[in-house]
Chains A and B, each alone.
Chain A
Amino acid sequence: MERRKVRFGSAAIFLVLAAVLVLTHIPGSAWAQKRGGTLVIGLEADPGHFNLIVKPGTTVQVPAVNIYNKLITLDFDLNPKPELAKSWEVKDGGKTLVFHLRKGVKFHDGKEMTSEDVKFSLEKCLPYNPRSRVFWKPVAEKVEAPDKYTIVVRLKKPFAPLLTVMGVIFGGPAIYPKHLWKDHVGSRKAFLNAPYSKKPVGTGPFMLKEYKKGSHVRLVRNPNYWNAPKPYADELVIRFVSDANTRLIALEKGEIDYLRAALIPWDQAARLKKNPKLVVLDKGGEATGQVEFMLLNMRRPITGNVKVRQAIAYALDKNQISQLATGGTAKVADGIMHSAMKWAHKGSFAQYKQDLKMANRLLDEAGYPMRGGKRFSLTVTWAKGRGFEGLAAEVIKQQLKKVGIDIKIESFDRAATLKKVYINHDFDIMMQFFTTGPDPKISVTRVYDRNNIGSANFNNAPSYINVGVQRLLDAEWQIPDVKKRGAAWRQIVDMVAADAPVIPLFETPFVHTHSAKWADVVTRPYCAYCTREDAYQK
C-alpha cells in the first residue's frame, strides 16, 4: 500500500487519501487503478486441464484460482477475509460455522451462485479433492443450506484451523456450479471426464478464452464479476515455460510479467533487484512459511542429552549461517514456525544467542570434557538437491569445532536421506526445511507430536516426547478463540525451545518478481495461488 505511487497535485488531497488508504487497508482500492492490459504469468508446465477438484497441483491452481472463488480468503497476516462469504459466525464452541453468502454473484454462464452450489461443492466435490479432504474428512459432519444465501457447516468436534485452511485454495473448496456438474459426480473419473474439466465455469474474475496446448492459457475479464471494478487487467495469460533460465530471461525481457517464488532461484535476487524494470517482492510466502531447521536425534546418547542440544544451540552464530548459506537473503528464525503467523509465533529460541562459554560449560556438565581440543563427533546429514543446506552444514561444522564438537557431513539423494532419517531414525543431526503454514496444526504439530513417531516421511524425527507439550498439542486445535489458541502455541514454543529437539536456523527466502509496469500482482499470503484480480497496470 505505502509503496504505491499516487499522482495527485495537491499534497492535502494526497494526505487525506493516504490516510483513507491506510485506514481501509483493502488491497487494490477502486479509484487508484485503471483497467486494461494483459498480465502474463509464467508457469513451468501445461496443466492439461483446469479440474481443481481432482488435481489440485500448482499448475492447475495457478489458472484455476482466477476462474473460481472460495468462500473466504486470507490476508498477509493469515487472517480470514471475505470472498464469496461476506461474513461468518463460529458457534457452539467451534462446532458450527455459519457463512452468509454475497447476493447476486453470477457464474460465467449467467446463473446465480447460491447456497445450493456451496453445499454441492462441499458435499459432492470436496471428497474427491485429495488435498482438501485431508482437512475436512476427519471433522466435517454435515452441510446445510437453510436459505438461498446461508450455509451452515456442522463439525464433529471443533477444528480451529478450518477457517485458515479454507482461505487457501488447496485446502478450501472452490465453488462449482451445481447445475453444470451435478451429472458428473460420483467418481474421480466422472469429474475428470466432465466437459468442465477443460471448459471451466466459475464465479472468478477471469473466464477462459483460449487454451493453446503446450503454449498458454488466455483468460479474459469476467464482465459481471461481483467484485467490480475488478479485475483490472483485460486479460490474464498463463504461459508455459519449462526451462528455468529461459523463464528468467522472458521475465527480464518483459515477455512474462510475473514469476512466483518457486521459479526464481535465490541467488538471482540481488541481480533482479538492480533491474529497474522489475519489482522484487518479499511478501507472499506467509502461508507456506518455510523455515530451515536442524533436527537432533534424541534416540542417540549424545544428542539425547538436553545439555548437549542446548550447548549446540548456544554455540551457533545463526546470523553467520544465514549469511553464508543464503547470501544474506534469509531472515534468522527464532521460533518453530514462520514469524508471519503472528497470532501463534513466539521467538523463544532467541535466548540462544551465541555464547561459547555457556556452550562449553553445558558440555562439561553433560559429561563430555574437552580432550585435546575435542569432545565428541557427530554427523550432520543433508539431502542432495538443496545446496544451501550443504553450505549451512559446512558453516555449522566450523562453528561447532570451537566448542570441541567434531562434525562429519554426509549427503545422499533425497529419497535415501528421507528413508535414513524418517524411516530408520539413523542420524545424529539432520538439515531439514519445513513448511510451517498456513496453520501450525497442519504443519508444525507433526514434528513434536509423540503420536507421530514412526515410519512416515516428515514425522517426529527427533522422537521428541514432552508430556506438557503433548497435552497442549492435543487441545489447542479445538480452541475456537484465536487469542487463547495463540497463547497455547506460545507456551508450546517456550517448552520446545527449552528442550531444543530442533534448532531453527532461518526463514527461507521468498523471492518473486513482477514487471514494474504492474502493481498489486501479489495480494495474498500465497504467491502461487493468489488471485490476480487486484493486479493493475501503472
Chain B
Amino acid sequence: MAGDYPLLRYSVRRILQAVPLVFWVIIINFTIIHLAPGDPAIYLASVTEATPEAYAELRKEFGLDKPLYVQMGIYLWKLLHLDLGYSTWHNSPVLGVIIDRLPATMLLMATAFSIASLMGVVLGVIASRYSYSVGDHLATLASLAGYSMPIFWLGQLLILFFALYLDWLPSQGMYSMRGVEPGWPAVLDVLKHLLLPAITYATYHMTLVFRITRGKMQETLAQDFILTAKSKGLNERRVLYRHALRNALLPVVTVIGINFAYVMAGSVFTETVFGWPGMGRLIFESITARDYPMILGIFLVVSMMIMLANLITDILYALIDPRVAYN
C-alpha cells in the first residue's frame, strides 16, 4: 500500500549513503593500523636471526618498504578486485582465511544474538509489568551484574562450574577430539560445545536489551495511547505486547544495532576464552602476530558487517515506526 514505497525509497537512500562511508572506513583502518607501533618484519623473522638484512628482505617481500600512501594505493586497487591481501601468518589469501572462520562465528553469534534479544525483550516486558516488585528489583540487580561483568571472567566462571566442577559440558573448542560419530552425534557435539560460549556471549547483550526494554516499556506504559488501548477493553497481554512493546522496541532495536560493534568485540573475548575457531579469535591471533593484511581484512569485513547491521537497524526502525520513512 501507500506505505511500502517510502520504505523502499528510504532503504535505497540509506544504502547509497553507506558507500562513501565504506571508502572512509578503509582509509582510516589502513592508517590506524600502520601507525601502530611494532614492525611486522620482527614477528615474521625468527628470534635467532634478527639481522637487519633479514628484516629488509621480509619488508620488501611484503611491500612494507614502500611509502605508506603507495601501500594504500596498492591496497585499494586490490580491494577493487576483491583481493583483501595475503596473510603473512596463514600464508593464504586473507579472504579465504576469513571465509574459513566465518561460519563458526556466525553460528555462535546468531545463537547468542537470538537468545539475548529474545530473552532480553521478554524479561524486560515482564519486569516492566511488575515494576518495582521484588522480582523486578532482583532482575535489575542481576542485569546490572551481568552488564558489568567482564566477558572473559564470566566465561571462565562458567567453564569452572559447568565444565570442570559439574563436568556436564566441554570447556572449550567446537568439536570433541575423540570418539564422535559423524551425523547427528557430531551435530549434538557441536551444540554441546556451543552452549557455554553462547551463554557467555549472550549475557552482556541480554542484560543490555533487558535494561533498555524495561526502561522503555515503563515509559511507554505511562503514555496516553496505552490508556486508550486499555479503555478499548483489551486484556493486559495485548496492551503490553501489541501496543506498548511495539513502541518500546524502537530504542531497543537501535541499541541492538548500535551495539553490534560491541557484539563483535565481545566475540574476540568469548572466542579466545572458549577456543572457538571463529573470527573473534582470528582477530586476537592476527593482532598478536602483527599480521597486517589479515588485520586489515578482518577490520574491513567487520566494518562492513557493522554498517550492514546499522543499515538493517535503520530499515527495521522504519518498518516499526512509519514516521521514519515518511519524513
A237 neighbours in B (Cβ, 8 Å): 177
A214 neighbours in B (Cβ, 8 Å): 100-101, 104, 277-278, 281-282
The distance in angstroms between the C-alpha atoms of A130 and B55, with both chains bound, is 11
Which listed residue, B45, B172, B273, B278, touches A255 by the CB 8 Å rule? Answer: B172
Complex contact B275–A242 (CB within 8 A): yes
Known A-B contacts A130-B46, A216-B173; A45 and B285 likewise in contact (beta carbons under 8 Å)? yes
Complex contact A246–B156 (CB within 8 A): yes
Known A-B contacts A46-B285, A48-B89, A214-B101; A240 and B177 likewise in contact (beta carbons under 8 Å)? no
Complex contact A239–B173 (CB within 8 A): yes
B-binding segment of A49-57, A84-92, A115-123, A305-313: A49-57
**With an 8 A cutoff between CB atoms, is A253 at the interface?**
yes
B152 neighbours in A (Cβ, 8 Å): 243
Known A-B contacts A239-B173, A249-B159; A212 and B277 likewise in contact (beta carbons under 8 Å)? yes
Complex contact B278–A250 (CB within 8 A): no
**With an 8 A cutoff between CB atoms, is B48 at the interface?**
yes
**With an 8 A cutoff between CB atoms, is A74 at the interface?**
no
Which residue of chain B is the closest to A213 with respect to CB atoms? B100
A215 neighbours in B (Cβ, 8 Å): 104, 173-175, 275, 277
Q: Distance in Å from the Cβ of A458 to the closest Cβ of chain B?
A: 10
**With an 8 A cutoff between CB atoms, is B224 at the interface?**
no
Within 8 A of B (CB), among A204-239: 212-216, 218, 237, 239
Complex contact A38–B177 (CB within 8 A): yes
Pair count A-B, CB < 8 A = 121
A457 neighbours in B (Cβ, 8 Å): 50
**With an 8 A cutoff between CB atoms, is B97 at the interface?**
yes
**With an 8 A cutoff between CB atoms, is B289 at the interface?**
yes
Known A-B contacts A189-B61, A214-B104; A130 and B45 likewise in contact (beta carbons under 8 Å)? yes
A243 neighbours in B (Cβ, 8 Å): 152, 172, 272-275
Known A-B contacts A130-B48, A213-B277, A239-B275; A49 and B91 likewise in contact (beta carbons under 8 Å)? yes
Complex contact A249–B91 (CB within 8 A): no
The distance in angstroms between the C-alpha atoms of A288 and B50, with both chains bound, is 19
Which residue of chain A is the closest to B178 with respect to CB atoms? A38
Complex contact A253–B163 (CB within 8 A): yes
Known A-B contacts A214-B101, A214-B277; A241 and B172 likewise in contact (beta carbons under 8 Å)? yes
Known A-B contacts A213-B277, A240-B277, A242-B285; A134 and B171 likewise in contact (beta carbons under 8 Å)? no
Complex contact B92–A48 (CB within 8 A): yes
The distance in angstroms between the C-alpha atoms of A197 and B87, with both chains bound, is 14
**With an 8 A cutoff between CB atoms, is B167 at the interface?**
yes
Which listed residue, A57, A131, A189, A239, touches B49 by the CB 8 Å rule? Answer: A131
**With an 8 A cutoff between CB atoms, is A192 at the interface?**
yes
CB-defined A-B contacts under 8 Å, sample of 17: A38-B178, A40-B178, A46-B90, A48-B92, A189-B61, A214-B282, A215-B173, A239-B177, A242-B284, A242-B285, A246-B273, A246-B274, A247-B275, A250-B172, A253-B164, A255-B171, A255-B173
**List of 3 A-B pairs having minimum Cβ-Cβ separation, nearest first:** A214-B277, A48-B90, A215-B277
